[in-house]
Amino acid sequence: MLHRSLKDVFPGRFSNTCPAAIELHATLNLTQGCFEKAGITPDSYSEREELPTFKELKGQLLLADRGYYSGSYIHELDKAGGFYVLRAKGLKAVRVHTAFKQNGQELTGSHSPKLCELLPELPKNDLIDMHVSIKNKLTRVVGYWSKKEKQYTFLVTNLSIDEFTATEIGKLYRLRWQIELLFKECKSYNNLRGFQTSSATLQEALIYVSLIVTTLKRFLTGCIEKIFKTEMSTMTVAKTTGVWWIGILTAIIRKHRKGLLNAVNGAFDFLRKNAARAHPKRDRKTGVFQYGVEPNF
């Protein structure tokens, strides 16, 4: 939410309660552990226009939330040689050609019902692996019951059923949560917010400064991991900024080379002792590292 005077520059979707608002669209590269690209648009603009290009995604795996889902987009991405696991919406009217429980039991029979017709028969304690028609093309959909939302969540993917089980598709999609943790880091510890300024230029600049600072902190985190062979917690590094960050910035502003070296060495020593990852072994079994994704900051 922004200052109301910016409603013509950044129109919001809710003109009465939030006339001026923006959306920040970001791509996180899991192998780099930080932003690959980011952009700001008015809140009223479509998220899909901010998706990476097909050329950028060739040979890559895209994980994205339901706001970015488009049947046309996923088929074009598939043709371009990219892979995807996206949370889908608007699938109730699609035809289901096959649907299996994890034990191999088929749920469709000889006919191809619409998904809305099949929904009442789907079990709420099992993953469902389906092939449905989306834009006249057979597409794999994995469905699972969300206890929190009390409805089915559907993931569309072009990953092969022979190589990736329905359970693995769900685990892969949960890696998308890393972008939410990165935003939390920006908001909680790097001043990412809607500033009450009537200057659109200043508003954008302050947001990008937040992203740059987050990137610098994660770069330093990666340096510590490489130098000391210690797995670090990026969130703890961000939390402890008040202890070590100011000295580095002060030395940079003063253009004091020796002071900067001392500040960096002091920061590294402090963070190595106080910001190590709490449960690295657990994370390799159930967390972000379970698929061998090793951030190279």
CB neighbours of 81 closer than 8 A, spacing ≥ 6?
58, 59
Higher pLDDT, 283 or 36: 36
HSE of 105, CA atoms in CB hemisphere, 13 A? 8
Q: Are 91 and 115 spatial neighbours (Cβ–Cβ below 8 Å)?
A: yes
CB neighbours of 270 closer than 8 A, spacing ≥ 6?
240, 243, 244
Residue owning tokens 């040979």: 59
> Which pLDDT score, from 0 to 100, does residue 32 have?
82
| Three-state SS at 141 | strand
| pLDDT > 80? residue 296 | no
> How large is the angle between the packed helices 200-228 and 177-189, nearest 10 degrees?
110
Tokens of 188: 């909680």
**pLDDT per position as a tens digit, 191-226:** 998 788 999 999 999 999 999 999 999 999 999 998
Secondary structure (H, E, C), 170-215? HHHHHCCHHHHHHHHHHHHHCCCCCCCCCCHHHHHHHHHHHHHHHH
Give the separation between CA 104 and CA 19, rounded to whole angstroms.
Answer: 51
> Which pLDDT score, from 0 to 100, does residue 125 have?
84
pTM across the whole model: 0.88
- What's the rounded mean pLDDT across residues 170-182? 92
- Going by their DSSP bridges, the two strands 128-134 and 34-42 should be labelled as unpaired
Higher pLDDT, 58 or 280: 58
| Confidence label for 83 from pLDDT (cuts 50, 70 and 90) | very high
Residue owning tokens 């980011």: 38
Terminal Cα-to-Cα distance of the chain (whole angstroms): 31
Mean predicted lDDT score pLDDT of the chain: 91
What does DSSP assign to residue 278?
S
HSE of 73, CA atoms in CB hemisphere, 13 A? 21
Q: Are 156 and 115 spatial neighbours (Cβ–Cβ below 8 Å)?
A: no
Give percent of the chain with pLDDT exceeding 70: 99
